[in-house]
Chains A and B, each alone.
Chain A
């Protein structure tokens, strides 16, 4: 809650610090001063800054974000239609990234210092070094224009989702496989694994039950923290593929100086972010008995 209030304050002062007057932007510089004044009154920007902020918080409390300066649509309605799209994109990317990232990291760790390990490590460095807007454009060029497999841009069914999801998944696969690799290597060196092996458990069982379970905790942390970079990537991928989500909406708002749009998107992004972190904390409880015991003891 303090974080959310802080974010509203920061984003509010950011938008106030921006150059340009939205009232003048709306009607153009040649409009008469009376017209501009009446618009200001209507928008409430004739009040002082604190009054504006309090007014905005009042709006927020009712689940409202104000109206866009340009389309005059409610920002909350826009966000309601765009938010599911962004979530769909993020979930799509994670569905691709999580299994592949885990598998690659696991293989690399189990065959440490082998050719396979070197190959996977290299691929994952490449993954974090290639900008998504470039890989996305190349993917679009090949899949849509040369092979004519998928539509280059748009929002909706699966065929529109495939390319942005793959693009967004690429860096995520890279980070995940890196983290999985280091985590699994750490676990492999632990004494309890030798005990497990000495007990004569089959290796595949050791791998799945003992290593994966222990590895999941750091991995879940990273997936949660990485969600911020999904939002980053979403701005770029949504722009390239014309995916009608919050990232593109926020960027449009920024270039048009449409403050209610920018603030609404930032606040929704932050709420999502806080919720994801909460989910990660809950997941700890479920994944790691030690966390539960700790709490009871305290």
Chain B
């Protein structure tokens, strides 16, 4: 796939970040939650490359393990958003009418409402944790998928193959899920590429506010929240997890733009 130099570099970095998170136990000899009272808030050294935190835990190790949570949550949330968005977009675009009007009004509402407040609202009804964060992100994230897919279905609906399917007596369900759904998958994957960087940031924000993965489990956002109190004495506690968020989100965003350009789509990202 032609993605341009920037897209390729970003894709490579994402693969590396994914690999080091998954292979974390092989790459580091420290355990992510091992407390070492002899090494509190140590500056970066050859033993602890990213330094240690207020409990003497190795920051590099926690960043690696934290990547599993941060990226895992973002990917699952993206898949969840995509599924809900596909379903609503398909039904709303194909049947039209009052249902469509209502669905799109809801989409407008969700897209315009401050998403973090909505996500925070959801993550306090359910007990804090990674599953809640996934649901909270998806509760906001589905809307942009739904709008995109609905527009696409509107144009697909007029295609001869849909008429043919209808003439052959296909049920609406069959037309939607057997004939139209596969046509919508590539577009939703592009959208997913564009969205996932933002989802990583939202996950980090919710964890930063204490609504995500609960201690002692490391996630990038919660590591920054803990490091905040020690920012003067141990800036590395904040610096490195944040760098991990920024680099990962940046690469996903650049890759998303490259994929979007590759498929000649315009302005899917507002």
**Choice from B117, B208, B221 contacting A231 with Cβ under 8 Å:** B117
Contact A129 B201 (CB under 8 A): yes
Among B124, B221, B252, B269, chain A packs the most CB atoms within 10 A around the CB of: B124
**Choice from A134, A225, A251 contacting B238 with Cβ under 8 Å:** A134
B265 to chain A, nearest CB (A): 12
Contact B120 A141 (CB under 8 A): no
Contact A17 B246 (CB under 8 A): no
Q: Which residues of A contact B109 (CB under 8 A)?
A: 3
Contact A232 B224 (CB under 8 A): no
Any B CB within 8 A of the CB of A254: yes
A230 to chain B, nearest CB (A): 8
Contact A138 B238 (CB under 8 A): yes
**Choice from B121, B197, B270 contacting A129 with Cβ under 8 Å:** B197
Is the contact region of chain A dominated by helix, strand, or loop, or is it mixed? helix
**In the bound complex, how far is the Cα of B128 from the Cα of A18, in angstroms?**
12
**In the bound complex, how far is the Cα of B157 from the Cα of A204, in angstroms?**
47
Q: Which residues of A contact B239 (CB under 8 A)?
A: 138
**In the bound complex, how far is the Cα of B232 from the Cα of A121, in angstroms?**
33
Contact bitstring A86-108, B, C-beta under 8 A = 1, else 0: 00000000000000000000000
Q: Which residues of B contact A254 (CB under 8 A)?
A: 120-121, 124
**In the bound complex, how far is the Cα of B246 from the Cα of A179, in angstroms?**
21
**Choice from B115, B121, B221, B253 contacting A128 with Cβ under 8 Å:** B253
B residues 121-173 with Cβ under 8 Å of A?
Answer: 121, 124-125, 127
Contact A222 B125 (CB under 8 A): no
Beta-carbon nearest neighbor of B267 in chain A: A182
Known: A125-B257, A134-B242. A18 touches B124 (CB 8 A): yes
Is the contact region of chain B dominated by helix, strand, or loop, or is it mixed? helix
Contact bitstring B203-241, A, C-beta under 8 A = 1, else 0: 011001110000000000100100010011001001100
Contact-size category for A = 35 or more
Contact bitstring A119-136, B, C-beta under 8 A = 1, else 0: 000000110111101100
Beta-carbon nearest neighbor of B247 in chain A: A129
Contact B120 A138 (CB under 8 A): no
Any A CB within 8 A of the CB of B114: yes
Any A CB within 8 A of the CB of B249: yes
Contact A129 B231 (CB under 8 A): no
Any A CB within 8 A of the CB of B95: no
Contact B253 A130 (CB under 8 A): no
Known: A18-B125, A134-B238, A229-B114. A140 touches B250 (CB 8 A): no
Contact A137 B270 (CB under 8 A): no
Beta-carbon nearest neighbor of A144 in chain B: B232
**In the bound complex, how far is the Cα of B116 from the Cα of A235, in angstroms?**
8
Any A CB within 8 A of the CB of B46: no
Contact A131 B242 (CB under 8 A): yes
Contact A269 B232 (CB under 8 A): no
Any B CB within 8 A of the CB of A151: no
Contact A134 B246 (CB under 8 A): yes
Any B CB within 8 A of the CB of A250: yes
A residues 245-298 with Cβ under 8 Å of B?
Answer: 250-251, 254-255, 257, 262, 266, 269-270, 273, 277
**In the bound complex, how far is the Cα of B194 from the Cα of A125, in angstroms?**
12
Any A CB within 8 A of the CB of B113: yes
**In the bound complex, how far is the Cα of B124 from the Cα of A251, in angstroms?**
11
Contact A134 B245 (CB under 8 A): yes
Q: Which residues of B contact A229 (CB under 8 A)?
A: 114-115
Beta-carbon nearest neighbor of A17 in chain B: B125
Contact A228 B113 (CB under 8 A): yes
**In the bound complex, how far is the Cα of B238 from the Cα of A131, in angstroms?**
12
Contact A273 B114 (CB under 8 A): yes
Beta-carbon nearest neighbor of B127 in chain A: A19
Q: Which residues of B contact A182 (CB under 8 A)?
A: 267
Beta-carbon nearest neighbor of A232 in chain B: B116
A48 to chain B, nearest CB (A): 21
Any B CB within 8 A of the CB of A11: yes
Q: Which residues of A contact B270 (CB under 8 A)?
A: 179, 222, 225
**In the bound complex, how far is the Cα of B235 from the Cα of A57, in angstroms?**
48
**In the bound complex, how far is the Cα of B120 from the Cα of A11, in angstroms?**
12
Any B CB within 8 A of the CB of A14: yes
Contact A236 B205 (CB under 8 A): yes
Q: Can you list 27 pairs linking A and B with CB atoms under 8 Å apart?
A: A17-B125, A18-B125, A19-B127, A125-B254, A126-B250, A130-B242, A131-B204, A134-B245, A134-B246, A137-B242, A138-B238, A138-B239, A140-B231, A222-B270, A228-B112, A228-B114, A231-B114, A231-B116, A232-B114, A236-B205, A236-B209, A239-B209, A240-B228, A250-B117, A254-B120, A273-B112, A273-B113
